[in-house]
Amino acid sequence: MLTTLPPDILAFFAVILRGLQLTAQSVILGGVLFLFGFTRPLAPKLGGRVLAMERTGLTWTARGGLALALVAGLSIFANLSQLVAGLKIEPGDAMGADFVQWNLIMATAAMALAVTARMQANPAQVPSMALLAAVVLGASVMSSHAFARVDEREYYILADALHQAGASLWIGGIPFMLLALTHVKESRDRLLVGMRFSHLFTGAVGLLLLGAAMLAWGYISTPGALIGTAYGIMTGAKIILLSVLLLLAAMNRKSTRSEAADKGQFRLRRFAEVEIGIGVTVLMIAASMASQPPAADQTQHQATIMEIVERMAPVRAPRLVSPPSETLSIGIEKTAASETADRMWSEFNHNWAGIFVLAMGLGAMAHRMGVGPARHWPLLFLVIGTAIIIRSDPESWPIGPHGFFETLADPEVFQHRVVGLLLFPFGLFEWAVRTGRLKSERAALIFPILCAVGAGLLLVHNHTLTDVKERFLIEFSHIPMGLFGVMAGWLRWLEIRGDGRARRVAGLLWPVCFSMVGVLLMFYRELP
Amino acid sequence: MIRSVLFPLMVAVGLLAAADARAHAVLVESSPPAEAEVVGSKVEFRLRYNSRIDAKRSRLSLKGAGGAKTLAPLQGASEAELIARVEGLGPGRYTLFWDVLSVDGHVSRGQVPFITITP
């Protein structure tokens, strides 16, 4: 069976699995931080409540361990499949590959950690879990770029270990802070919880930044590589999202100093939810970067600032007329004319999508200002979803010669199909919320979640083109769209879940971010 | 709330975080270089990458006028280098296809076209 799987789809799943692995790893490290850095040292002050907190914390950590063991197992399977199907290596021989071996170690340690977390409490339990979490972290570092470096490998391994440890402890620690807050009622205790985690997270962020600086020094090294390569701009996207996280963390720090600044730590909890969401997005970008060569190694095909500015500048009106499908390079040998038609086709799709997205952003603003009929704006998602399914892959069903399932193995087609189909429930849910058909908060949260997920997809989405620089220039335009989309999603989340000034500001800002995605799409270009 | 909404979100982001694995190992230098003319029927290949390569689990194949043949690569002077040799090539255009596994688990592909000419 392994040999029948197409290599591209296996490589595609390998990236997804890496993102899930980093997320599960964060839960584990966050759980260990919770036990070692919070419940154990503060047990005398928190009294009997610690037992209930630890019980839930151990359950979450055990689930994280099980999830990681499963993901590492699937990673081994995907990697073996790739070696067997793509490189025609015997399965037994493929088992000896370094990546497979490190993932076996990771899966074993994660499973052992899950079992340890579920055991009866004993003195060795928490130290054993910490040791196993360190093994998981080590195995993760040893299956990253750092382990594959030719020169100064020890430096990169140390940098990556610091970076991954900091990110995992911080992002993975936040759910456990929220867990602790749900177990305390008094103001003094809430401040104690907030203050303690604030100190722990400051240390984690320190590790993260130190590791990031060391990695950037080696992997990116020049300003040109930061701006002109896919690895570089993804690093830029991570830096921007990290800045947002640090801003939220700074505001949370105030909440931990005085009850008057944030009554009941309500704002802190809402910001923490947003931090988890943005944090996971950053982990996914990191997973995508792991499949790309470091910027410093890509000395050829780097785009210059002038080439980027030239591509991004809105020098002409949106393309509102599509080239005929007969002119595209479908089933014929590519010519300059057919490739130009392909790009015009893509520009038409993006530009029209932009018009609809902008219309939705403006509709959301108008609805907020009291224009009643504007509440139907989410129905425009159905138009975009239909257009994506029909037009995004002209070689496939319904307008191309290939069947629906035939082309699903192509990662790009797969992504388009998933996104196109998702837009239907997405639009209908939000429409039902806006028109009062659905009243629960949970239903209202569907829109911000899928908005953030879709935008996160843009941040890790790759176009499969042979021309490296051209592919980069297309991806460059996706980064600001993705960032605006992620922010629109999480600001809307805050508008629904928050209160006071945070709610008002978020309510004003998210339609602006959403509209900006539309504006960027309207002027998206693939042709010089 | 956290468990019911944010956990599915984490999974959803993961499932949608679709990115095709692209050329991870970059070919830094090759001998012969791409589009080079090689004199004679014997060619010694030397491929140097930006990362450590698992030579045992990497593949080279040569395609040309006489058909295709698989070559067994060996590790070169460093862990980032693959070497292989072929003999008995007639004059003409050939392409060396490389499929390499870097030690961090990524498979990368590429090719080096070259021409052999008679001495």
Q: What is the pLDDT of residues A50-59, one digit of tens each?
A: 999 999 999 9
Cα A344 to Cα A316: distance, rounded to the nearest angstrom: 13
pLDDT digits (tens, 9 = 90+) for B25-41: 889 999 999 999 999 88
Tell me whether residue A50 is in a domain: yes
Nearest to A457 among B17, B101, B107 (CB): B17
Query: Total structural domains in chain B?
Result: 1
Asked if residue A63 lies in contact with residue A175, where contact means CB atoms within 8 angstroms, the answer is: no
Domain of residue A510 covers 305-522
Mutation site for A-interface testing, chosen from B3, B29, B56, B104 by largest number of A Cβ within 10 Å: B104
Choose among B20, B24, B79: nearest Cβ to A12: B20
- Contacts of residue A304, Cβ cutoff 8 Å, sequence gap at least 6: A224, A228
Domain count, chain A: 3
pLDDT of residue B119: 79
Tokens encoding A28: 């584990």
Question: Rounded to whole angstroms, how far apart are CA atoms A460 and A480?
Answer: 12
Q: Residue A527 domain-assigned?
A: no
How far is it, in rounded angstroms, from Cα A86 to Cα A88? 6
Residue B12 maps to a domain = no
Return the number of CB contacts < 8 Å for A and B.
168
A160 and A138 co-located in one domain: no
Is B25 part of a structural domain of the chain?
yes
- The verdict on residue B14 lying in a domain is no
Whether the CB-CB separation of A431 and A439 falls below 8 Å is answered with no
Phi, psi (5° rounding) for residue B64? -165, -160
Question: Is B102's Cβ below 8 Å from some Cβ in A?
Answer: yes
Domain identity same for A196 and A265: yes
Reported as a single tens digit per residue, the pLDDT across A61-102 is 999 999 999 999 999 988 888 888 778 888 889 999 999 999
Contact (CB, 8 A) for A143 and A99: yes
> Where among A143, A169, A197 does a domain terminate?
A143
To which H or E segment does residue A96 belong?
none
Which A-chain residues 88-117 have CB contacts (< 8 A) with chain B? 88-89, 93-94, 96-100, 103
CA distance A492 to A270: 12
B15 lies in a domain? no
Residue found under tokens 């985690």? A197
Whether residue A264 is found in the same domain as residue A380: no
Read off the DSSP letter of residue A149: B
The answer to whether position B108 is within a domain reads yes
Identify the closest residue of chain B to A442 by CA–CA distance: B5
- Whether B4 is covered by a domain: the verdict is no
Q: Which of A127, A143, A159 is the last residue of a domain?
A: A143
Are residues A337 and A278 part of one domain?
A: no
Q: Do B22 and A462 touch (CB under 8 A)?
A: yes
| DSSP 8-state code for residue A38 | I
Q: What is the pLDDT of residue A471?
A: 76
What confidence tens digit (pLDDT) does each residue in A373-397 have? 999 999 999 999 999 999 988 888 8
- Kindly report the pTM of this predicted structure: 0.86
pLDDT top residue among A399 and B77:
B77
- A229 touches B at CB < 8 Å: no
Token look-up 């002027």 returns A523
pLDDT at A247: 93
Q: What is the distance in angstroms between the Cα of A101 and the nearest Cα belonging to chain B? A: 10
Q: Could you give the C-alpha distances from A443 to A365, A427, A428, A434, A506, in angstroms and in order?
A: 20, 12, 11, 11, 19
Model confidence at A1, in pLDDT bands (50, 70, 90)?
A: very low
Verify that A245 and A314 share a domain, yes or no.
Answer: no
A11 CB neighbour count, 10 Å cutoff? 24
Contact A457/B11, CB-based, under 8 Å? Answer: no
Whether residue B36 is contained in a domain is answered as yes
Query: Residue A349: which pLDDT band, with cuts at 50, 70 and 90?
Result: very high
For residue range A308-327, what is the model confidence (pLDDT) as tens digits? 888 888 888 999 999 988 88
CATH value at residue B70: 2.60.40.1220
Residues A371, A237 within the same domain: no
Same domain, residue pair A160 and A115: no
B1 to chain A, any CB pair closer than 8 A? The answer is yes
In terms of residue numbers, what domain contains B51? 21-117
Chain A: residue whose CA lies nearest to B59 = A87
Q: Is B68 on the interface with A (CB under 8 A)?
A: no
Say yes or no to pLDDT of B62 above 80.
yes
Using alpha carbons, list the distances in angstroms from residue B17 to A280, A443, A454, A512, B32. 11, 23, 9, 25, 38
Which among B12, B78, B107 is the nearest to A86, CB-wise? Answer: B107
Contact, B31 vs B110, CB < 8 A?
no
Is A339 in the same domain as A482?
A: yes
- Between CA A165 and CA A422 the distance in angstroms is 34
Q: Is B106 inside any structural domain?
A: yes
Last residue of a domain, which of A143, A178, A207? Answer: A143
Instruction: For A399-443, write each residue's pLDDT tens digit.
Output: 877 887 777 777 778 878 888 888 898 899 899 999 999 888 888
CB contact under 8 A, A150 and B51: yes
Query: Does residue A331 share a domain with residue A424?
Result: yes
At residue B46, the 3 state secondary structure works out as strand
